[in-house]
Amino acid sequence: MNAPLSTKLYEEASRIFPGGVNSPVRAWRNVGGTPRFIVRARGATIVDADGRSYCDFVGSWGAAIVGHAHPKVVAAVQAAAAAGLGYGAPTCAEIELGRAITQALPAVEMLRMVSSGTEAVMSAIRLARAFTRRPKVLKFAGCYHGHSDALLARAGSGAMTFGVPDSAGVPEAVTAQTLVAGYNAIDEVRGYFAAYGEEIAAVIVEPVAANMGVVPPQEGFLQALRELTLASGALLVFDEVITGFRVARGGAQARFGIAPDLTCLGKIIGGGLPVGAFGGRGDVMTLLAPLGPVYQAGTLAGNPVTMAAGRETLALLDDQAYVHLEDLGRRTEDGLDAALREAGVGGCVQRVGSMLTLFLGTERAHGLVDIERTDRERFARFFRAMLERGFYLPPSPFEALFLSLGHSEADVDDLVQAAHEALQEIA
């Protein structure tokens, strides 16, 4: 556990950055101790400033699906960088990545590149409001859609980690147009449509929730959202920033067979570099400037280095890759399930494809109400016990573990063995 150089660096970082970090969950407030400063990573291994190696199950929060610094991705980035870092003008690289995305997600007829998931969702919501000429947005408790004002209501991820469901600095008038229902609670959604149907521009959902830990949609949930939005004239927006190219090549919309009107992407499509994208129905997307009245722009959007990293990453994700990721996911789930049982620790493992969460202190998690019962203190001890054994897990009980093509079956078996010991230690 002792990491003297990381601790020293954290002290210095804390003088420069609030909380020592540039994104809150990185500060390890949920698990105690100080964060490791990472100096390099390759495949499934990350190395900190003290020279310690860890088997990484954060994977840059899901972006690193082909493993860290895959040689082909790095070569593509180097070639793109050598040609020029960006021009603020159209490039062929944008077309190549855009084509790969529209081919994988048929519901995305047209798209626009942006620089983060937050921007993608913010822009998709603006577009939905313009298209429907309605003001309200319905979201789900525990789903995180980035940190734009309107969506910081009952958000997951860092907002939840710190027990601040709404951020200070967001005017009530902004979130007043945001309705919040329970995840998987379709009757609540029906109630909102009955009360405000004519005012709802969009329903936005993580089609597999991953920002309160992994919570799969229950049978019929996404289908019911599709039917209700169609009946009312609202748009269905899938936030696939995590699930896109993760739970299937075509994302959750392919895995569950539901076509949304708009889709938000990020993470994987940037191959590890900053990115976001939103897209969907052509009749909606053509409302965007310069064709239509909805303004949206970005100086570095679609920059050629990111586009090259994304294109190369998506090229590595063939059918065989998804079979392998699914196998690794199942092996991890089965192993952790058995470890929980053998240690006699109450909890459960929830998984979709290559992302999963080990919840301690609750036997099921269908929505935020269940999640709030998890044992945070016990999770913190589990996290530290795993770190000591060389496993780098998300430093929060409300996040997903991500597997990648950089992981081997042996990595998974080692994780399970370590979890076995760690769970016994904290039992």
Give the interface with ligand PMP as residue ranges (CB under 6 A): 61, 116-118, 121, 144-146, 157, 206, 211, 239, 241-242, 266, 276
Partners of 280 in the β-ladder: 110, 262
Comparing CB distances to ligand PMP, the nearer of 147 and 324 is: 147
Nearest Cα neighbor of 349 from 335, 337, 331, 362 is 337
> Which residues lie closer than 8 Å to 37 by C-beta, 6 or more apart?
5, 6, 9, 10, 13, 48, 49
Comparing CB distances to ligand PMP, the nearer of 146 and 250 is: 146
CB 301 within 8 A of CB 114: yes
Least spacing, CB of residue 280 vs ligand PMP, in Å: 16
Least spacing, CB of residue 265 vs ligand PMP, in Å: 9
- The DSSP secondary structure of 315-361, one letter per residue, reads HH--HHHHHHHHHHHHHHHHHHHHHHHHHT--EEEEEETTEEEEEES
- The count of residues in the chain is 427
Comparing CB distances to ligand PMP, the nearer of 146 and 304 is: 146
Across 183-201, b (16+ Cβ under 10 Å) vs e yields bbbbebbeebbeebbebbb
Comparing CB distances to ligand PMP, the nearer of 266 and 271 is: 266
Comparing CB distances to ligand PMP, the nearer of 125 and 415 is: 125
Mark whether 239 is an active-site residue. Answer: yes
Task: Find the residue with minimal CB distance to ligand PMP.
Answer: 117
Least spacing, CB of residue 399 vs ligand PMP, in Å: 9
Distance of alpha carbon 12 from alpha carbon 30, whole angstroms: 21
Spatial strand order of the sheet with 347-352 comes to: 347-352, 355-360, 401-402
Nearest Cα neighbor of 65 from 263, 264, 255, 272 is 272
Comparing CB distances to ligand PMP, the nearer of 46 and 237 is: 237
Distance of alpha carbon 7 from alpha carbon 37, whole angstroms: 9
Least spacing, CB of residue 145 vs ligand PMP, in Å: 5
Q: Looking at 10, 139, 261, 267, which residue is catalytic?
A: 267
Mark whether 144 is an active-site residue. Answer: yes
Least spacing, CB of residue 165 vs ligand PMP, in Å: 17
Distance of alpha carbon 59 from alpha carbon 419, whole angstroms: 18
Distance of alpha carbon 184 from alpha carbon 220, whole angstroms: 9
Q: Looking at 48, 54, 139, 144, which residue is catalytic?
A: 144
Rounded to 10°, the helix 376-388/409-426 angle is 130
Comparing CB distances to ligand PMP, the nearer of 240 and 375 is: 240
Nearest Cα neighbor of 278 from 292, 262, 291, 267 is 262
Least spacing, CB of residue 386 vs ligand PMP, in Å: 22
Distance of alpha carbon 238 from alpha carbon 244, whole angstroms: 10
Least spacing, CB of residue 276 vs ligand PMP, in Å: 6
Q: Looking at 56, 239, 261, 375, which residue is catalytic?
A: 239
> Which residues lie closer than 8 Å to 175 by C-beta, 6 or more apart?
149, 150, 152, 153, 166
Mark whether 8 is an active-site residue. Answer: no
Which residue numbers are catalytic? 144, 239, 267
